[in-house]
A and B are shown apart, each in its own frame.
Chain A
């Protein structure tokens, strides 16, 4: 079988209208330089199954009786202990849920294959590469269906703010924004939205023939939704677009209240702050009425654990720990996320209050420009480094933090960072903490977008 990927592979159900939409986005006179190609990879059968899934998600209530487990958990635990090699090796499922050992990114990073159920067929398996806050590089097992299921949870989040997506054939549904020196960019269509357009673009001027094309192009696309992270949304504020999206969806990093307010004022639409992880997809959306992030997934149970792994009471702050999820390639069982919050039952759906763990940081390079922490991830991601961190001092000096196991790579990592920052010296610190570190930190005042 040939490894050559065709449009038929990328868009198995593409119609003439979908093809025209892709052409429109790709060939518009103000279009950015699209550097890559990708697609939804969904078959007609997938789309049918996704419609059922979406309907169930939108109709389902989310949560569980306070102080009790959701009813589906015992069956999920039994199946996971039967079907997943890692859990099979633990023996029989414990009688009490709290006795199931917790796992973390470190376990996934050690050998992700042991967490993939035996029942998953491998021919359509895909990976999401993630480094996360802890700096443990990780390949997450996934599937095109899993990626497509995100939309159901975005719709559920939007539903909370009274928005039902309308864009379909001949319109652009979402533009996914990045603002990085290097970014995977492409166009596609969303079959679940009657082939509305989907564009993943980079707002960095290097990706455009003329920086002013950014406004022209975005206005031409007039997407119903912009998705991105706080760094790309901060850049969007600098671009004179006139179009009015119906919502902005921010993921990946915590969105500051100030930036959310500025975005709401500028675009006159709700700005959703979605707590989402590669390991679990969209988990919760911020709602000021709940004073926290309200949970989105009907089949995701959340515990808050202390550092010893003991469950904490409602209202007590600890580590967010997940069970369940919609990624059938990676069922989660007491997965410690490395993020922190307390659980609240004040509104009809449980909410995470005081969520923290992934604050965005930008760094200043020698010529005074700012770069995104994702650029650091890109540069250091080339090296086989289990854990790293980067700190910028108030004088602009850079400190590279490396795990002891990665010290042999220090010269190469330093050289890459010197090129990126345009400076001559990179200081080194060895990471001595056993687990998570805050990967990106800065003493510079303007480091928070």
Chain B
């Protein structure tokens, strides 16, 4: 976060105004309409050079159950990184790819992509995280201020994720136990049996 970046609000506003094309369905197998590798490649060419095919493989969707939210957020992140400020800053291709791949995967693990457009806190989180991973901080903030705000957002989020993940595990275990305990034929009357 050593370098001064753009005004944070310009990025969060951009996210709030994400065009419908960037919120469309990512292509996964035969479903969806947006071929995300092509979208990423277009962005990278605006940065000065197209990417190698192998670098774009991560953006090919194979299974909606694991890829859909990540690719949906990657599309939103492409829109963010196509902001004039990033283009002018000449972000190195490898850094941009890392954000679109690793950073997006982390954020998409537990938050629906659309929340990074519709929810003010998540917009701020996405903008700050992307800036930080590219070694920038919002304009007008000191390194300490930016670090504090990001870690506060991230810590809250990490805590939320951790708790959500623990709760999900507890819930799954409880469901398994409840199901194992009561076979329906011993616990309910149906007038017919399939």
Contact = CB atoms under 8 A, between A and B. Distances in A.
Q: How large is the interface on B (under 10, 10 to 19, 20 to 34, 35 or more residues)?
A: 35 or more
A96 B176 CA distance: 33
Q: Which among A86, A118, A148, A150 has the greatest number of chain B C-beta atoms within 10 A?
A: A150
- Kindly list the 3 A-B residue pairs having the minimum CB-CB distance in the complex, ordered from nearest: A91-B69, A92-B114, A147-B188
A190 interface: yes
B172 A114 contact: yes
A412 interface: no
A427 interface: no
Given A91-B112, A96-B25, A127-B183, A39 B189 contact: yes
A129 interface: yes
B18 interface: no
Nearest to B175: A113
23 contacts: A36-B186, A38-B188, A85-B168, A85-B172, A91-B112, A91-B114, A92-B72, A114-B172, A116-B175, A122-B178, A123-B178, A126-B183, A127-B182, A127-B184, A129-B183, A141-B175, A144-B187, A190-B189, A227-B191, A229-B193, A251-B192, A251-B193, A276-B194
B40 interface: no
A278 B183 CA distance: 13
Contacts of B113: 91-92
Interface of A: 5, 36-41, 81, 85-86, 88-92, 94-96, 99, 101, 107, 111-114, 116, 118, 122-123, 125-130, 139, 141-144, 146-148, 150-151, 154, 173-174, 176, 178, 184, 188, 190, 198, 200, 225, 227, 229, 249, 251-252, 274, 276-278, 282, 308-310
Contacts of A96: 25
A91 B192 contact: no
What DSSP secondary structure best describes chain A's contact surface? mixed
B52 interface: no
B193 A252 contact: yes
Contacts of B31: 99, 101, 309
Contacts of A274: 192
B179 A90 contact: no
Q: Which among B24, B68, B69, B192 has the greatest number of chain A C-beta atoms within 10 A?
A: B192
Contacts of B179: 112, 125-127, 139, 141
A36 B114 contact: no
Nearest to A88: B112
A404 to B, nearest CB: 21
B171 interface: yes
B184 A198 contact: no
A277 B23 CA distance: 36
B185 A38 contact: yes
Contacts of B30: 308-310
Contacts of A190: 189, 191
B81 interface: no
B25 A99 contact: yes
B69 A128 contact: no
B32 A99 contact: yes
A176 B191 contact: yes
Contacts of B108: 91
Contacts of A40: 188-189
Nearest to A249: B192
A90 B64 contact: yes
Interface string B156-167: 000000000000
Interface in B1-53: 23-25, 28, 30-32
Contacts of B120: none
Contacts of B73: 91
B178 to A, nearest CB: 4
